[in-house]
Amino acid sequence: MGNSFSRMGLLQKLFVLTLACLSQLALGSPVNKAGDPLLARVQMLSEGMSRVLLECPERVWPGMNWRDPQVVYSDHEKQQAFVWNEFGGKDLFRAIDFSLLPPSMAFGFYANGEWKGRDALAINLAFTGRMPAGPFQKDFALTLAVHEGFHFYVQSQWGLPKDEGTRATEYPADWQPRRLRFELLNALVEAFERGSHLPAYLSVASYWRQELMNRYPGLAETYKQTDVAEGSASYMDGVSSAIAWGGCGQSEQELLDAMRGALRTELVQINEPEMEVFGHDHYSLGLVSGLIMREQGRMGWEHQVSLGERPVDLVVEGILPMAPPENHEIREQVKAAVEKFNSETGKVVDPFLATMADPASIRVVMPYKLIQGAFGTQGFILPKAVPGMELILAIDVRFGSADGRLNGELKGQTVGVVEDGNPCATADESKSQWIIPLEASSLQTDGTFFEISSPQFQVTGPHERLVSRPQGGVRWYCLEENTVSTPEGAMKPLNTVKPLVTRTWW
C-alpha cells in the first residue's frame, strides 16, 4: 500500500522556528524533522541517496559517472519543495521556494532539469507517496529517482543508438513470442533462487533464449534498445534499494539474499503474467540477469551492457541449452493474458481508429514539448490495421505554452504518432507530435479565442495558436507554442521526460 503523510506543512513548521534556525536551514544544515512526517521522509530519502551515489556508488554500478547528483523533491499538494546535495558531495538538504519550480517539476511525476545551473532530477513526493513500496524498496521515491537518474545522467554517456526499436505492442497481440520471453524470465528467476553459480540451472534459460531467437529472430533486435536501457536501470534501482536501506557495510551475500527475498514480492511480477508479458519483462529480464552475474562474480559485464549488449544475452553466454518438460500451466496463463489484453485494448484502440477513419472528423496535433512533467499512460500500441502509426493509450497529462496563454489537459486520451503524413510537422519533428482525432463539434472559436472540449481532451488559447492545415480532404489543426524564456533562478525544464506506464511500471 502507498504511504500516507500528515497534512502539517513546512510553512507551519517554519513559523515557530527561530531566526537562527532559519539561517541554518537556508545553509543546508540538518533539518529538525520532529513532528513533521514529510521532513522525516525527505531526511530518510537524502540519507539513502547519499549511500547510493556518494558513499559507495561502485557497489551499485562500477564506473557510474553521475556527476554531482542533485535531487529536487516537490509536493504540489502541500506546496513544498526541497533540494538534496545542492552544493555537491554533501549529505544535506534544505527547503526551497515551491513557486520557483516550473509546472513540469512542481506537478509532474518526475522530470529532469536544472537547479542553480546544475543538473537536477525532480521527484514528486505526493505521487510517489501513493505508490506501493514493500519493506525492501521502502519508498518508491528513491526507486524512481535512481532509475530515472540512471537514464538521464549515466546511460546518456553510453552512446546507445537513438530511436531504435520500440516498446510498443502489436494489436491484436500474438501470445506465442510472449510465452517464450516469460518462460525465459521464469527460468532465470528459478536459477537465481536455486544457485546462480551452477550452470545447470541456467541451461533451461539458455534453451528458451535459443527458441526465441530461432522462432522470432527479428524480435530481439526490435526489443534490444528497451531491454538494454530498462533492464540495466531496473538492476541498478534494485541494487540501490539494497544499498540505501542496508548500508554500504553489508556483505555481498547479505545484499544478494535481501534481493532474493524480495524478488517475487517486490521486484518482478512472475506470479502475474499479464503484467510481465506486456512490458515489465524488459525490466525484469535485465534485473535478474544482472543479479545472477553479480552473484557469479563475473567481471566487466556492466561495461558490455554500456556498449549495447543485453544482460539476458550475456548471462547465458556459453551455457548449453537443455529443454525442460512442457509447462502447460505457463502456456495457458500467458495465452489467457494475451486474450484479455486484446479484448481490453480493443475497447480503447477501436474507437480511436474509427474516429480517425471518419471523414467528418478533425485531427488536432499537439507538440510533445508542450507537456508539463511525465505523463501517465496505459501503454504503447502498434495497430496492425494502420501500418506506420504508434498509439499511446489513455494519456493523463497537463500541457501548455511557456507564456501561459495556451493551456490544456489530456485525461485518458489516446494519441497517435506517425513518421509520415503529419502536415503539422517536418519529418524530423513528426515523432514528437501527438495526433488526436475528434468530432468536429468539439472545436469552437470566435476568431479571437478557441476552445476544444471532449471528455478526454480540453484546450483553450488564442485563435492564432490553432493553425489550420487541411490535407487530403481531412481537416488538420496544429497547436503552436510561442516560446517565452524561463524566469531567472527558476528550475528549467529540458523536455526530456519519459512516460510513466501505469499498466506496466515506469
Assess contact for 270 and 185: CB atoms under 8 A.
Answer: yes
Query: How far apart, in whole angstroms, are the C-alpha atoms of residue 59 and residue 482?
Result: 46
pLDDT digits (tens, 9 = 90+) for 161-215: 765 557 788 999 999 999 999 999 999 999 999 977 778 889 999 999 999 999 9
DSSP string of 28-75?
Answer: TPPP--TT-HHHHHHHHHHHHHHIIIII-GGGTSTT----S--EEEEE
Does the structure show a pLDDT above 90 at 426? no
| Phi and psi torsions of 367, nearest 5° | -65, 135
Does the structure show a pLDDT above 60 at 494? no
Query: 252, exposed or middle or buried, with CB in 10 Å at 0-12, 13-18, 19+?
Result: exposed
Which three cell numbers mark 175? 501470445
Residues 205, 208, 213: CA angle, nearest 5 degrees: 125
Assess contact for 373 and 486: CB atoms under 8 A.
Answer: no
Angle in degrees, 0-180, between the axes of helices 199-215 and 217-246, rounded to the nearest 10: 140
Does the structure show a pLDDT above 60 at 113? yes
One-letter amino acid of 221? E
Q: Which residue has the cell 501548455?
A: 400
- pLDDT of amino acid 88: 79
Which strands make up the sheet holding 110-115, listed edge to edge? 93-96, 80-84, 71-75, 118-124, 110-115, 492-493
pLDDT digits (tens, 9 = 90+) for 339-357: 999 999 999 999 999 999 9
- Confidence class for position 159, pLDDT limits 50, 70, 90: confident
Query: How far apart, in whole angstroms, are the C-alpha atoms of residue 306 and residue 340?
Result: 36
DSSP string of 5-26?
Answer: -----HHHHHHTS-HHHHHHHH
List b or e across 443-480, with b for residues whose CB sees 16 or more CB atoms inside 10 angstroms. beeeeeebebebebbbbbbeeebbeeeeeeebbbbbbb
Query: How far apart, in whole angstroms, are the C-alpha atoms of residue 59 and residue 503?
Result: 31
Q: Kindly report whether the global pTM for this prediction surpasses the value 0.85.
A: no
Half-sphere exposure of 353 (CA within 13 A, CB side): 17
Stretch 232-244: mean pLDDT, rounded? 98
Q: Which residue has the cell 513526493?
A: 125
Does the structure show a pLDDT above 80 at 135? yes
pLDDT digits (tens, 9 = 90+) for 356-387: 999 999 999 999 999 887 788 888 999 999 99
Query: How far apart, in whole angstroms, are the C-alpha atoms of residue 170 and residue 216?
Result: 14
